[in-house]
Structure 1
């Protein structure tokens, strides 16, 4: 692998060259990855079939495909995860092959066998490779036998929690608890002390059983502050195995990747070659075919070392950065390998040109602990420009609910070097507009601005360490002014008869000094209401061809802002420079309710109620009704958008739980109460203790 001068687009095999591998391909996925696969199918002249749930009937990937088939209701278990329904759809539409994308059925050997039995090609490796690499215990054993370094720990099938606790006595803490099945960091928990291990095992088993149908666990020595580097491999049925360089995926939160790049700023050419050859050995150990990714951990204290972590037997979410620096269409190579065609390039043909960085746009609220968000996309503008690519599931009118993964889009930027790629990515995120659903776009920009990120000094714990210090934007004066002017302009006309209603009947009020300025009462989240006057000095002018964009002129400054309102007008979304805020438009009744609620909160202790932070499913209630709990103890666990969220006791007391495992819950639904312990009797204070002050809470 060599370096080369950097053209605006790297050279590589062009989509559409060579014989067409298939006539019809069914895409067994949804959202941005379905659209990504459809793009290559169109370039190759292959007819496409989309599948969808009832909730996705009007999704963009359905509209873009030549044919579509409904698999069932919204819940993935009743639609996208039904192997028999996918195979039946392929047979009914005359598909030669099924491309599973990633997630859902992408690493399911049952789909591979069902396709083979029906005479349909699955775009991916054979079932044996899926089974071996999908089982982390078997994978570590197989890889270690091929001479690739692995992380120490306990990796034996059939061990229950007690056996794992006993085996852990011979290991050094901290330990990482990992489900043997599945991937993507789901179900992984860190136990820093022996006392934390039982709870970590219970949580990991619960997630593994629900997500993967297999609760087998293993323990690994935790590599502190490692770098997460993965290598893209390609293999054909004729024995050729090559690698396309590496991707750095160290920017993670809770084991979930956020920003990825290629190549890694850590590796030199020699290290790249060593790691690439190790990845090829891993692929050969299971007779791999198609595109796959071998993931390694590199200790921060010993960057010359690397350890095998896992192999993903599918396309990766972050594959665009490899495509950007190699010019290779990985989906096309998958299709050609599945059709039995030889690889279109050899190892010496792989040239990395420039640098590429990808950011994942999620439906989540960083200011609220990254809780998933939901809603309807009211306005959308996606980035474009030199070196910018957007893989997206977004469209105006899209309803984002709790049933699917919260990733909405990926924004990718390529540059001549890393600095230019980072600058282009930041500019692309700044020009991204999503109104109606909260996203992490502003958080991504704040993360990209971190000095350690700019310097390439990365590790998998960087985000957690720097998160408390990241400054996230809040609505500024111009946001409030724009929202107030927009809301006022949308007010329905006064229904009262024409004519002078007298000073007390005027809707904008009356003052002896002249007319009062119209005002709108707005609130950001649960914050205090804010009376925002519709100032004569604030002017909003719509920009042609951009429905949500307005030129805001206020206080001698001009600025482009984006505005949209919910159908009932009870909420105005305002966005600029990648940040977006939902401001509630409050009626007089709502103002009164908030005022009374604020008085109640000020008069008593912290509310002992636990409400659902998002729509989802209760997956665990680890306390019994009437059980006494400590402050911070987990009372209810809710799963939404493939993530678990623990609701903990706000104070010590007795738990009163009103939900059961498996129950679907609504946003803000009351799940449990914690009846506080009786406060201490001041009269019983020990001698010499100062008396309780009546102006302190709880006195």
Structure 2
């Protein structure tokens, strides 16, 4: 990326009011511009990479975002204490908070973002929609539920016609959105949307819009200065989403032609100009799947977007630098005719989650993190980091550039195959499956594509992976069993026995899905990395040769990356292996398990039944929330429920939540 103006910017110290990969990304540009960076952190992030990479860091408070990253008074105090002249909010947290922007202004500190009017108008979906419609920007038909009773909402929904999309008016990121296909589902959708909206945004006002079937999600990057110039940097295709959260983004869109790009860009610039926008922003549109020239305004994100790197790669413009220069009062050095799109860029979001368990959030220690060479990777973690349930589950972005779309797709797939993440479950394998989907390859996509994909099944570990784990386990076991006084043959650990020279050591391994593998540990030869301690992981995590990495965790599992896939396997004794096979056989023959367990660590945010209630199969029992996601736990069969948790309880993964005792039947 190239600088588009003078090398100096009107700030010498900037506080980055965020965490993770976006904090690191902002710090990177600050360093290039010679600006002193100040990080902030919660107790959970005391040893985070962004804290060490900044020139200085200030503690905000406990892990809870409400007491740290969302605490306006604490963030502002950190800015004043550190001598920062400006605050860069990143995205999420306080980035679209008008009260925070106002507090910065009152303290004489520049807010690197738009003014209060833009934040207030565009921060409310209902108000934003009404506002841009008055400036000839096309909008989706719908209505505001503000001040309406549920009965009034139901009547208005009947008039509008189903299917409808229920969404919180405040906030974004797809949180709280509910699809309602008929009147019978409306009440539950309103309850869930309000609960999530109150929790995430402190405002449970709802907006209901006509659901456009098989839409594409297209957004336009804009830049606007304080001197009246507004330009756009082309569009991004963000259609590949799951639960309204973007998964893959690319620039440019494979279906937008130059004429439609001009119209989209003009609409986006009009929306920005209507609120006297300043800085970098994104205007999001729905595009009809069968009519790519027809588009509707969804919302404006008054901040930098997660997916901004794809625009940077195809335009050569550093968007963070532009934000800094605009906030310092400089006029844009770019005119619309200066913006050209070259090549193609695609980004994949790496989430700490388990696709095989319905994409539930995952936590744990990062034993090994090794990004791929030859592509851009913006990561929140490194070897030795800890992924907790306190924040969003996105831990990295892998971004590939190619001379055309097929080239970029191939480069991204290869980069994901070479990305090593051990110790925490992730969606990397799923991302590769998604990129290989023929519809994705053809660019024939809509926002429901991922939801229509079959549930992801666990993949079988390759022979290389099994051999690497067996070898690692054999070395660890022999290292524990040998002593300094042992003979040379014993210390060799080769499996030699009298009468059976060079007999290989047999290792029994169990997979997450209950699979059991009998593996002959290979002779010592091809080296594999074995390392788990946080103290040494950063130093040795890059020493893994031949694309294979192995690391044991504290719970007895051994993680392995080989042949572009990651697995975790547990070494078993022969007795354990036999018992596991017997247990699996009994489970297959038995009725549904009466015990309902937590699918992920989190908080109990709703209890839908009372102790002793009669419940039916599929009925919601409790709802667990973690990493800004809700997951209902339902009864597997009819019966009587006994609750083991209460509203507000913090639960561990696989902790019993309730028991549903099936009714006895006469045989």
TM over 0.5: yes
Q: Distance in 2 between matches of 1:216 and 1:222?
A: 19
Equivalent pair of 1:443/1:472 in contact (CA under 8 Å): no
Q: Which residue of 1 aligns with 2:661?
A: 675
Residue pairs, 1:585-596, within 5 angstroms: 585-587=571-573, 591=577, 594=580
Q: Distance in 1 between matches of 2:52 and 2:63?
A: 18
1:457 and 2:444 equivalent? yes
Q: Which residue of 1 aligns with 2:242?
A: 253
Question: After alignment, is 506-515 or 190-199 more displaced?
Answer: 506-515
Q: Which residue of 1 aligns with 2:432?
A: 445
Equivalent pair of 1:484/1:534 in contact (CA under 8 Å): yes
Q: Which residue of 1 aligns with 2:507?
A: 520
Task: Give how far 1:14 is off.
Answer: 1.0
Find the residue that maps to 1:390 and give its secondary structure: strand
1:66-100 per-residue CA deviation (whole Å, 9 max, x = no partner) reads 11001011111111111100000000000001100
Residue pairs, 1:286-305, within 5 angstroms: 286-305=275-294
Task: Give how far 1:517 is off.
Answer: 4.3
Q: Distance in 1 between matches of 2:2 and 2:515?
A: 58
1:165-205 per-residue CA deviation (whole Å, 9 max, x = no partner) reads 12111022111110001101110010111101111111111
Q: Which residue of 1 aligns with 2:39?
A: 50
Equivalent pair of 2:528/2:549 in contact (CA under 8 Å): no
Q: Distance in 2 between matches of 1:343 and 1:550?
A: 46
Find the residue that maps to 1:98 and give its secondary structure: strand
Change beyond 3 A, Cα 1:15–1:75: farther
Q: Which residue of 2 aligns with 1:147?
A: 136
Equivalent pair of 2:604/2:623 in contact (CA under 8 Å): yes
1:415-463 per-residue CA deviation (whole Å, 9 max, x = no partner) reads 1111111111111111111111111111111111111111111110111
Change beyond 3 A, Cα 1:400–1:15: farther
Larger Rg: 1
Q: Which residue of 2 aligns with 1:419?
A: 406
1:501-541 per-residue CA deviation (whole Å, 9 max, x = no partner) reads xxxxx9989899789643323211140443433245x7432
Residue pairs, 1:490-569, within 5 angstroms: 490-491=476-477, 492-494=479-481, 517-536=504-523, 539-542=525-528, 547=541, 560-567=547-554
Q: Distance in 1 between matches of 2:122 and 2:307?
A: 19
Q: Distance in 2 between matches of 1:156 and 1:327?
A: 43
1:359-408 per-residue CA deviation (whole Å, 9 max, x = no partner) reads 101111111111111111111211122xx211111211001111111111
- Of 288, 296, 300 in structure 2, the residue corresponding to residue 311 of structure 1 is 300
Change beyond 3 A, Cα 1:610–1:512: farther
Change beyond 3 A, Cα 1:543–1:434: closer
- Of 163, 177, 199 in structure 1, the residue corresponding to residue 152 of structure 2 is 163
Change beyond 3 A, Cα 1:602–1:458: closer
TM-score, scaled to structure 1: 0.89
Q: Distance in 2 between matches of 1:96 and 1:587?
A: 62
How many residues align structurally?
653
Equivalent pair of 1:205/1:216 in contact (CA under 8 Å): yes
Q: Which residue of 1 aligns with 2:119?
A: 130
Task: Give how far 1:467 is off.
Answer: 3.9
Residue pairs, 1:238-277, within 5 angstroms: 238-277=227-266
Q: Distance in 1 between matches of 2:74 and 2:280?
A: 25
Q: Distance in 2 between matches of 1:376 and 1:543?
A: 17
1:259-307 per-residue CA deviation (whole Å, 9 max, x = no partner) reads 0000111111110000100001111111111100000001113222100
- Of 615, 627, 633 in structure 1, the residue corresponding to residue 601 of structure 2 is 615
Equivalent pair of 2:612/2:640 in contact (CA under 8 Å): yes
Q: Distance in 2 between matches of 1:672 and 1:454?
A: 44
Equivalent pair of 2:398/2:412 in contact (CA under 8 Å): yes
Find the residue that maps to 1:101 and give its secondary structure: coil
Q: Which residue of 2 aligns with 1:686?
A: none
Equivalent pair of 2:223/2:230 in contact (CA under 8 Å): yes
Q: Which residue of 2 aligns with 1:554?
A: none
Q: Distance in 2 between matches of 1:497 and 1:68?
A: 47
- Of 157, 165, 181 in structure 2, the residue corresponding to residue 192 of structure 1 is 181
1:635 and 2:624 equivalent? no
- Of 321, 339, 344 in structure 2, the residue corresponding to residue 355 of structure 1 is 344
1:85 and 2:85 equivalent? no
TM-score, scaled to structure 2: 0.93
1:606 and 2:592 equivalent? yes
Find the residue that maps to 2:291 and give its secondary structure: coil
Q: Distance in 2 between matches of 1:593 and 1:130?
A: 60
1:248-267 per-residue CA deviation (whole Å, 9 max, x = no partner) reads 00011111100000011111
Q: Which residue of 2 aligns with 1:278?
A: 267
Q: Which residue of 1 aligns with 2:490?
A: none
1:389 and 2:389 equivalent? no
Task: Give how far 1:660 is off.
Answer: 2.0
Change beyond 3 A, Cα 1:560–1:507: closer
4+ residue stretches of structure 1 with deviation over 6 A? 495-500, 506-516, 543-546
Q: Which residue of 2 aligns with 1:556?
A: none
Residue pairs, 1:361-380, within 5 angstroms: 361-380=350-369
Q: Distance in 2 between matches of 1:481 and 1:389?
A: 31
Q: Distance in 1 between matches of 2:276 and 2:508?
A: 65
Q: Distance in 2 between matches of 1:259 and 1:31?
A: 19
Equivalent pair of 1:240/1:343 in contact (CA under 8 Å): yes
Change beyond 3 A, Cα 1:453–1:507: closer
Find the residue that maps to 2:159 and give its secondary structure: coil
Change beyond 3 A, Cα 1:343–1:665: same
Equivalent pair of 1:178/1:188 in contact (CA under 8 Å): yes
1:25 and 2:14 equivalent? yes
Equivalent pair of 2:4/2:334 in contact (CA under 8 Å): no
Equivalent pair of 1:360/1:411 in contact (CA under 8 Å): yes
Equivalent pair of 1:159/1:216 in contact (CA under 8 Å): no
1:518-568 per-residue CA deviation (whole Å, 9 max, x = no partner) reads 3323211140443433245x74324899757666xxxxxxx7421111257
Q: Which residue of 2 aligns with 1:69?
A: 58
Q: Distance in 2 between matches of 1:252 and 1:164?
A: 28
Residue pairs, 1:208-247, within 5 angstroms: 208-247=197-236
Q: Distance in 1 between matches of 2:542 and 2:439?
A: 35
Q: Which residue of 2 aligns with 1:626?
A: 612
1:556-597 per-residue CA deviation (whole Å, 9 max, x = no partner) reads xxx7421111257x1111112432111112356755764674
Task: Give how far 1:600 is off.
Answer: 5.5
Task: Give how far 1:19 is off.
Answer: 3.6
Equivalent pair of 1:16/1:44 in contact (CA under 8 Å): no
